[in-house]
Amino acid sequence: MTVKLEIQKNISLADFTTFKIGGLARFFVEVKSIDELIAALSFAASEKLPVFVLGGGSNILVSDQGFIGLVIKIGLSGISVEEEDRSVVLVTAEAGEEWDNFVEFCVENDFAGVECLSGIPGLVGGTPIQNVGAYGQEASESIVSVQVFDRRDKEVETIRNSECGFEYRKSIFNTTEKDRYIVLRVTYRLKRAGTPKIVYADLKDRFNDRIPTLRETREAVLEIREKKGMRVRQGGFDAQSAGSFFKNPIISKESFEKIRVTTEVNGFGNLPFYVVNDGYVKIPAAWLIENAGFAKGFRMGNAGLSTKHSLALSNQGGAAASEILDLKNVIEKQVKEKFGIELTPEPNFVGFTDASID
Ligand code: EPU
């Protein structure tokens, strides 16, 4: 079968990112089927072009120079439901479906398992890559398998949950096998008429001891996200961000105790933490940033911190990618100096030379 692709030239990437930042893609194509995807990859190979696979653009910072290659936008769509048994359903969503539409679909159908992940911008295909998580739930808890196109072996494959290497914001797709697989569709195992997961403090407080419905949980999560400036589908400069810009550092208990002592001595107040396992704790990057001297709403040129959440670096109007990078570098330096902790950015950097993002 011959596939006709509509390859466009010099397309601005800014409009395809939640940061609203980025230069031009030299070539750009949206693919709506696996055949189109394969044809797009062949075009790139024949022209010797690097490829960047674009999803919802909610977790990337594109350079001001843009991307000198082929950007492939994943436009695969559709959701299907299969019964596993009377109480469990397998819901499969194509990678190009809007994640929040998918969550809404599940909540409306009374399928439990993704309700706390309401309001997250981006596409279904991104959820296994960084093991999206929020308000006490992670995508890896419900993902059964991920159908991918393997760029190395040039074939469609199904990768089971246990093979995905899921950890906090981590999978094989963004670490050991980065750039090898293109996510085509994801299957989630959800509970029919199940109860929502209420473990996050803000949600617990809100419902006291009552078990809310999935719809009530979704509404509550959407409200909390909005209050914290994390529902980045909404308008305003604070929303021109990639959500959390840094991961919450996971450090050993020994390092934590040392830092805790120093922070107390220096009068920074109590350093919050969450126990990850016996030897490690996770600490909020937002706290480190604020206590290193960057308050919510801090500005450096047109880049700044969200006025509602210090972890969201944002484009406060007309910011260049280089301004976001400058702010990132200043924050990383100061957090390192004050607390001895290296922050790791969460978004992917697209079209930068390695030297400029060091
Ligand atoms: N904090 C501050 N200043 C702020 C905000 C928070 O100091 O402006 C401190 C407070 O101590 C607060 C703690 O940070 O108790 C945690 O804050 P929050 O509950 O808002 O969560 P977070 O750790 O900053 C993580 C995820 C978010 C997710 C929320 C809710 C990461 C990197 N981020 O943020 O995910 O929505 O928990 O579960 O793990 C994303 O990844 O893009 C994202 C938005």
CA-CA distance, 257 to 260, in Å (whole number)? 5
The protein residue with its alpha carbon nearest to ligand 1, atom 43, reads 244
- HSE, CB side, 13 Å, CA atoms: give it for residue 64: 10
Pocket of ligand 1 (CB under 6 A): 134-135, 228, 230, 243-244, 247-248, 272, 284, 286-287, 290, 296, 309-311, 346
Distance between CA atoms of residues 186 and 260, nearest Å = 41
Phi first, then psi, for residue 92 (nearest 5°) are -110, 130
Higher pLDDT, 201 or 329: 329
Reduce the DSSP state of residue 175 to 3 states and report it: coil
Taking the model in full, what pTM does it have?
Answer: 0.94
Mean pLDDT, range 45-66, rounded to an integer: 97
**Alpha carbon distance 110, 240 (integer Å):** 32
- State the distance from the centre of ligand 1 to the C-alpha of 283, rounded, in angstroms: 10
231-254 pLDDT, tens digit each = 645 568 888 999 999 999 999 999
Atom 40 in ligand 1: which residue has the minimum CA distance?
Answer: 244
Q: Given pLDDT bands bounded at 50, 70 and 90, which one contains residue 43?
A: very high
Q: What is the pLDDT of residue 349?
A: 97
Average pLDDT over residues 203-227: 93
| Known active-site residue 87 | no
Residue ID of nearest Cα to ligand 1 atom 37: 134
Q: Report the range of poorest mean pLDDT among 1-10, 31-40, 262-271, 317-326.
A: 262-271
What pLDDT shows up at residue 298? 98
Q: What percent of the chain has pLDDT over 90?
A: 86
Pocket test of ligand 1: the residue of 61, 169, 244 to mutate, having most ligand atoms within 8 Å of its CB, is: 244
pLDDT at 296: 96
Highest mean pLDDT among 174-183, 237-246, 266-275: 174-183
Q: How confident is the model at residue 356 (pLDDT cuts 50, 70, 90)?
A: low
Phi and psi at 29, nearest 5°, equal: -145, 140
207 contacts 104 by C-beta, under 8 angstroms: no
Nearest CA to ligand 1 atom 29: 134
Nearest CA to ligand 1 atom 10: 287
CA of 32 to the centre of ligand 1 (A): 35
Q: Is 140 a catalytic residue?
A: no
Distance from the CA of 134 to the center of ligand 1, in angstroms? 9
Query: Which one from 171, 244, 306, 314 is the annotated catalytic residue?
Result: 244
Active site (annotated) includes residue 244? yes
56-88: pLDDT as tens digits: 999 999 999 999 999 999 999 999 999 989 999
> What whole-number distance in Å separates Cα of residue 221 and Cα of residue 206?
11
Residue recorded with tokens 């922070």: 263
Stretch 300-325: mean pLDDT, rounded?
96
* pLDDT at position 166: 98
In this structure, which residue's CA is closest to atom 21 in ligand 1?
Answer: 284
pLDDT value, residue 84: 87
pLDDT tens digits, residue range 128-142? Answer: 999 999 999 999 999
**Which pLDDT value is given to residue 81?**
98
Which residue did the predictor score with more confidence, 227 or 158? 158
CA 249–ligand 1 middle distance (angstroms): 12
One DSSP character per residue, 216-274 reads: HHHHHHHHHHHHTT--TTS-SGGGSB-S-SBPPPEEEHHHHHHHHHHHHHTT------E
Q: Which of 285, 246, 292, 302 is nearest to 268 (CA)?
A: 292
Of the candidates 118, 169, 185, 314, the residue annotated as catalytic is: 169
CA distance 193 to 342: 43
